[in-house]
Structure 1
Amino acid sequence: MDTNQYLEIFIDESKEHLQAMSEHLLELEKDPGNTAIVNEIFRSAHTLKGMSATMGYEDLANLTHKLENVLDAIRNQQISVTVAIMDIVFSSVDDLEAMVEDISSGGDGKRDVSAIVEQLLLIEQGEAAAAVEAPEAPKAPPADFPENNFQYDEFEWTVIEQSKEQGFTCWELAVSLRADCVLKAARVFMVFEVLEKCGEVIKSIPSSEQLEEEKFDEIFTVTLITKEPIEDVQEKVKKVSEVEQVHAKEIVAAKGETGEKSAPAPVPAVSAIQPADSKEEGKAIQPVKAEQNEKKAAKPSASNKTIRVNIERLDILMNLFEELVIDRGRLESISTELNHSELNETVERMSRISGDLQNIILNMRMVPVETVFNRFPKLVRQLSRDLNKQINLEIIGAETELDRTVIDEIGDPLVHLIRNAGDHGIEMPEVRLSKGKPAEGTIKLKAYHSGNHVFIEIEDDGAGINKDRVLQKALDKGIVTEEQALGMTDRQIFELIMASGFSTAEVISDLSGRGVGLDVVKTTIESLGGSITIDSQEGAGSIFSIQLPLTLSIISVMLVEVEKEKYAIPLSSIIETAIVKKEDIMNAHNQQVIDFRGKVVPLLFLEDIFSVPHEEEDDRFYSVVLVRKGEKMAGLVVDSFIGQQEVVLKSLGNYLSNVFAISGATILGDGQVALIVDCNALIK
């Protein structure tokens, strides 16, 4: 069976099952006696094992199988849930995640897990073996087999009687699978395939649907009409891997001797499991029942309303729409020049429709931040154990949506910030108690929409930031000068911890304190067109607030002109525009500045920054675009304002990736290229 076509689905579903296992394990740790939670974990592990075996990833299937044994012992109350056992189970899930990640990256999913397997076996044998003193005997058929298991309706008895008249024999077969059988449904499929070559299967217990969904233990029973010797049939069935025993008994009872009167409703005459296109183990079992088909036709079941779409297809769709936006801008420009009423109406209608289409495409790319947030509860649990601290994680607004491109990049910065909050923020339990705080510290992870931005906040109720210590460290490292330090606000001092190489940790640990991390966080967030601010109160805690754009591909800009060149300044960075008189400009520290609402704002002349050829003119007024990055502001001096427009952000490519203060380019309606100004790079 060619499994490559199923690889993406396998990876996606494996990650979903592993995430579900992690979430339920955290719940189980809080409520060890809840068998319903154990059943959920077991179900996810069992499905993952089956998928892995089908896809040929034996290491993944074997480790999941060992984990499944431990979970089975827990749900059968042969093992009690302890912290030590949970640590080993969590480590197993970590290894499974690493193996799936390796497969996702093109690997074979192999990993040395001998140590964790040995620990799982010790748990299973040491704890579970005590509850089962003697080894299990081979499974015998049920005591009431076959008389009380099967009840045939009138039509089925007619089939049995007529087949006997034609020289057939009717047998009831009890097939017993091994207790550690992998892919039970696939084994059932193979057994039915063998039986149907020998004769006709007219009934099964459990039903074909239950067999397909593996809703049975190790034994299932079928009614077979055949001319072959039953010994030959039994031998053929036993050749199916993981079939332990096959018991057979001939149906000899007369029609009146059965318990058919107790049957509440007729049973379908034929309940055969038909072979699928492929005879490989992983193929689905496809029951064929005429009566069921009629019912389905009469009452259609609710179908799944969602489909999986490869992100590359959405990227292609987005690129095509971006071209449409460029052409829309061109049409609007032509329409304005010609001033033709019908053309204007058509262009206006096209603009509305393309705007709606844009919203739909952008919404298709939106993903809840939950996909990133859901890995943090397990991270915080491990963090608590590594640091010997008591930390509780609260997640608020996990349903908030962000563009997939932003989601893919934001995970690592959030990991750094949560580790930082746990390591530097939350105090040791005894320290917290001495300060009158509860022993358990709290980290809040919150996401919410505001305008065209998403805000993510990481708040802790820990020690806060000692601004004097931070400032002294920054002075010692030469990050700021004594003169600069005098005029710095509290927030500016706090943000010094995100300077490259800055660290106040007394001891370098595996978690933080190496002088890297927060500077990487800042760089990553700014590369996404976002910003990060820090507020803190010593002794009470800190809040790291991240502001991110909803999407990165289509942005709103203010078009400006510098000499004959056009530039686009993102509206997300703009506070307002202003006309400044030449005499209002002052000089401070060799820098031209203006007084804007009581604040001193430096002026940056784009013609100088981008080396635009300048024609000498007697300018008495300056057109200024006031932009902000966090608490810092600057005034960008341009020649004129053109207006607001939605544009498509295009990369400059590898050759021009390091151009200062330019984040990309866009094609305007008249076909000209306008460079997009990176305000974050300009404001230092």
Structure 2
Amino acid sequence: MEMNQYLEIFLEESTEHLQAINDQLLKLEDHPEDIALIVEIFRSAHTLKGMAATMGYTDIADLTHEMENVLDLLRNEKIAVTTNVIDVILQSLESLEEMVASIREGGDGKKDVSALVDLLTRLEKGNAGEEHLKPVAIDGLAQVSQYEQTVISQSKSQGFETYQISVTIDKGCVLRGVRAFMVFEALENLGDIIKTVPDGEAIENEQFESGFHVLLISKEKEEEIKQQLLKISEIEDVQIAPFETNQEDVDQSREASGIDIYENEPDTKPAPAANQAASKTIRVNIERIDQLMNLFEELIIDRGRLEDISARRKDTELNETVEKMVRVSSDLQNLILKMRMVPVEQVFNRFPRMVRGLAKDLNKEIRLDIIGAETELDRTVIDEIGDPLVHLIRNSIDHGIESPEVREQNGKKPEGNVTLRAYQSGNHVFIEIEDDGAGINREAIIKKAVEKGIIAAEQAENLTDNQVNQLIFSSGFSTAEHISDISGRGVGLDVVKNKIELLGGTISTESKPGKGTLFSIKLPLTLSILSAMLVKVEDETYAVPLSSILETVTIHKSQVMKAHGQEVIDYRDKVIPLVMLSKVLNVPPAIEKKTKKDIYSILVVKKGSQMTALAVDSFIGKREIVLKSLGDYIKNVFAISGATILGDGNIALILDTNDLIK
């Protein structure tokens, strides 16, 4: 993924977080007992660390990581807020500001922060004084950092030993990355890994020959560590020895490091240059936008009432004023809604690299196609939808896509295909994950569900395919034969379903054996104001979102035909279903009997490429309406997504046309 496009956002947000840390630190010095201030500083440091690590600025990430450790001890009251602590964190903040300023000016953001990291580590242990800290250089497994040297030294004083371990993997091993993972898992049960050669990412991607090296801190004996590693299959040899360090000339190291902030001298270094270019954007708390939206909703309701009053009074000046108010408020509405909407691309961009890694781990050939990444969703939904999509994609790759050999035996291309698709339909956004794998095995699902006690054996025969597909979302359900780091632990799809339902959405599954599986997520746009067509059905008024309407037409009763027992019409040389809303919604007959007409008023609505005609009694006209939830006591009502208050004070239900499309 290209990081340059996110550089401006990184600089903007990092500057904001650094300023927040500075402000809260100054307050903390005056109110050292205020834990809330420490929590705010911790949150900013944590966010900055994550952003820096993602962008590849390791020095910033390393320094903020150690700041986090100190702040965590402060908020848990394990160490006290002292002047010394504030000084060290402020010195760290100055270095962070220098590194961010370097990046802004086109630099690489690198800085030797080893001495700062060491001092922060000593704060964690409660033995940091004001004395000068001398950098140390180490020879051995590799050139270790100041932080790693400090950890080694402190561990030794507490009875731990540091071992240099060389692991050789059998040359015939197919999944070397998996074997390396098993070695790391075993070592983590014996102690703490502080360094690997090559680095962790290279080992994960199998970018090593026959073996790799590890620095381990442990209280276990050498022989015990060696025996545990040799128990892992396809591990050919393990060499282990104590790790020895050599201290270089201190003055030479200190000169090379370029760090002199620990001398007991007045600080004469100039402050980092301020950002000369003013930011073109500002960040606003989402709660403020929510408040703005709530106020605007009330304005829209009153605007609708003014339109009704103006239509009845037929006053020229009032009409002109209302028309101008409509134009201005419409522009304001568009601005408010756009502030909340962001493209799903921000979430989708994380998946290509993930799919590539999974395919390599599973020895599968996978192509990921992303369609509709420009589709926009509310920011609050975007923030929450990432993890469910990760679970679904991993599920498709692990359970859905077959191995290349099996695919070729079944007459398929060896390369499997996963499609991630997003599109808007009405006031909902649909996100689909589709694969061309083996599909859902009905018998295997039922067998596992009976074993887990999710269903009784006698129920199995009567379940429809859709009901069987929904069983995979049951808690603790998994068909994996072996537990791995990808699947088999019985957590995943039940979490996905719960998360999506919390967002007000639904998830459905379609599968064809041997052809593949489609997961479809329907999410609300959470746009509380939308353009709609008001229609009359008997004595009831309904609102239909304009975004789902293709066309409004009138047809003669004689144009209605029947196909397979379903009423249909010919729409632009296409036969589409006709739905009589009065019948589907069970609308009671009008109090005053109406003369039966031979003309139908039709709304042609769409969902993706599917179309359906909805028959109503009459059209009232276009309105801007405020979408209101039906509340917690009225949930999952068929074909109804909410309600709105009309200008005359009456209530109109808002139709979810996606449920009506056949």
TM-score after normalising by structure 1: 0.55
Q: Corresponding residue for 1:118? A: 191
Q: Does 1:340 align with 2:318?
A: no
User: What is the CA–CA distance in structure 1 between the aligned matches of 2:64 and 2:359, rounded to whole Å?
Assistant: 31
User: What is the CA–CA distance in structure 2 between the aligned matches of 1:71 and 1:578, rounded to whole Å?
Assistant: 76
Q: Corresponding residue for 1:301? A: 276
- Asked whether the 8 Å contact 1:333–1:670 carries over to 2, the reply is yes
Q: Corresponding residue for 2:68? A: 51
Residues 439/549 of structure 1: CA separation in 2 closer, same or farther (3 Å cut): same
- Asked whether the 8 Å contact 2:365–2:414 carries over to 1, the reply is yes
- Asked whether the 8 Å contact 1:79–1:128 carries over to 2, the reply is yes
Cα RMSD after superposing both structures: 5.7
Residues 332/604 of structure 1: CA separation in 2 closer, same or farther (3 Å cut): same
Q: Corresponding residue for 2:392? A: 417
Q: CA deviation at 1:83?
A: 4.3
**What code does the residue aligned with 2:191 have?**
E
Q: Does 1:668 align with 2:643?
A: no
Q: Corresponding residue for 1:553? A: 528
Secondary structure of the structure 2 residue equivalent to 1:330? helix
Secondary structure of the structure 2 residue equivalent to 1:313? helix
Structure 1 segment 612-651 matched on structure 2, within 5 A: 612-615=588-591, 616-621=593-598, 622-629=600-607, 634-651=612-629
Q: CA deviation at 1:565?
A: 2.5
Secondary structure of the structure 2 residue equivalent to 1:656? coil
Residues 610/447 of structure 1: CA separation in 2 closer, same or farther (3 Å cut): closer
- Asked whether the 8 Å contact 1:562–1:612 carries over to 2, the reply is no
Structure 1 segment 501-512 matched on structure 2, within 5 A: 501=471, 511=487
Structure 1 segment 414-453 matched on structure 2, within 5 A: 414-431=389-406, 441=416, 443=418, 445=420
State the Cα deviation string for residues 514-562 of structure 1 (Å, max 9, x = none).
Answer: 89949976995998689989799967x7776777675532222221123
Residues 349/584 of structure 1: CA separation in 2 closer, same or farther (3 Å cut): closer
State the Cα deviation string for residues 556-582 of structure 1 (Å, max 9, x = none).
Answer: 222112333311122344344343545
Structure 1 segment 449-488 matched on structure 2, within 5 A: 456=431, 458=433, 462-463=436-437, 478=462
Bigger mean CA deviation after superposition, 324-333 or 335-344? 335-344
Structure 1 segment 218-297 matched on structure 2, within 5 A: 220-221=262-263, 223=265, 271=268
**What code does the residue aligned with 2:245 have?**
P
- Asked whether the 8 Å contact 1:582–1:619 carries over to 2, the reply is no
Q: CA deviation at 1:642?
A: 0.6
Q: CA deviation at 1:12?
A: 6.3
User: What is the CA–CA distance in structure 2 between the aligned matches of 1:41 and 1:408, rounded to whole Å?
Assistant: 25
User: What is the CA–CA distance in structure 2 between the aligned matches of 1:681 and 1:550, rounded to whole Å?
Assistant: 16
Residues 595/414 of structure 1: CA separation in 2 closer, same or farther (3 Å cut): same
Higher gyration radius (CA): 1
Q: CA deviation at 1:354?
A: 1.7
User: What is the CA–CA distance in structure 2 between the aligned matches of 1:377 and 1:90, rounded to whole Å?
Assistant: 26
Q: Corresponding residue for 1:212? A: none
User: What is the CA–CA distance in structure 2 between the aligned matches of 1:557 and 1:592, rounded to whole Å?
Assistant: 28
User: What is the CA–CA distance in structure 1 between the aligned matches of 2:488 and 2:627, rounded to whole Å?
Assistant: 36
User: What is the CA–CA distance in structure 2 between the aligned matches of 1:450 and 1:565, rounded to whole Å?
Assistant: 24
Bigger mean CA deviation after superposition, 388-397 or 78-87? 78-87
Q: CA deviation at 1:419?
A: 2.4
- Asked whether the 8 Å contact 1:369–1:399 carries over to 2, the reply is yes
**What code does the residue aligned with 1:337 have?**
R
- Asked whether the 8 Å contact 2:48–2:61 carries over to 1, the reply is no
**What code does the residue aligned with 1:127 have?**
V
**What code does the residue aligned with 2:70 have?**
A
Residues 584/502 of structure 1: CA separation in 2 closer, same or farther (3 Å cut): farther
Secondary structure of the structure 1 residue equivalent to 2:579? strand
Gaps of 5+ in 1: 25-36, 92-112, 150-205, 207-214, 225-269, 273-286, 481-492
User: What is the CA–CA distance in structure 1 between the aligned matches of 2:424 and 2:142, rounded to whole Å?
Assistant: 40
Q: Corresponding residue for 2:50? A: 18
- Asked whether the 8 Å contact 1:557–1:647 carries over to 2, the reply is yes
2:334 to 323, 345, 359: 359
- Asked whether the 8 Å contact 1:322–1:648 carries over to 2, the reply is yes
2:633 to 655, 666, 670: 655
Q: Does 1:603 align with 2:579?
A: yes
**What code does the residue aligned with 1:118 have?**
G
State the Cα deviation string for residues 161-210 of structure 1 (Å, max 9, x = none).
Answer: xxxxxxxxxxxxxxxxxxxxxxxxxxxxxxxxxxxxxxxxxxxxx9xxxx
Q: Corresponding residue for 2:567? A: 593
Q: Corresponding residue for 2:470? A: 500
Q: CA deviation at 1:665?
A: 0.9
Q: Corresponding residue for 2:111? A: none
Gaps of 5+ in 2: 1-27, 29-33, 79-116, 123-137, 149-163, 168-175, 198-211, 217-239, 448-458
Secondary structure of the structure 2 residue equivalent to 1:316? helix
Residues 559/301 of structure 1: CA separation in 2 closer, same or farther (3 Å cut): same
Residues 325/650 of structure 1: CA separation in 2 closer, same or farther (3 Å cut): same
Secondary structure of the structure 1 residue equivalent to 2:629? coil
Q: Corresponding residue for 1:325? A: 300
2:539 to 533, 547, 564: 564
Q: CA deviation at 1:359?
A: 2.0
Q: Corresponding residue for 2:455? A: none
Residues 595/560 of structure 1: CA separation in 2 closer, same or farther (3 Å cut): same
Counting matched residue pairs gives 490
User: What is the CA–CA distance in structure 1 between the aligned matches of 2:496 and 2:315, rounded to whole Å?
Assistant: 53
Q: CA deviation at 1:651?
A: 1.0
State the Cα deviation string for residues 349-381 of structure 1 (Å, max 9, x = none).
Answer: 222222222222112212342443355457546
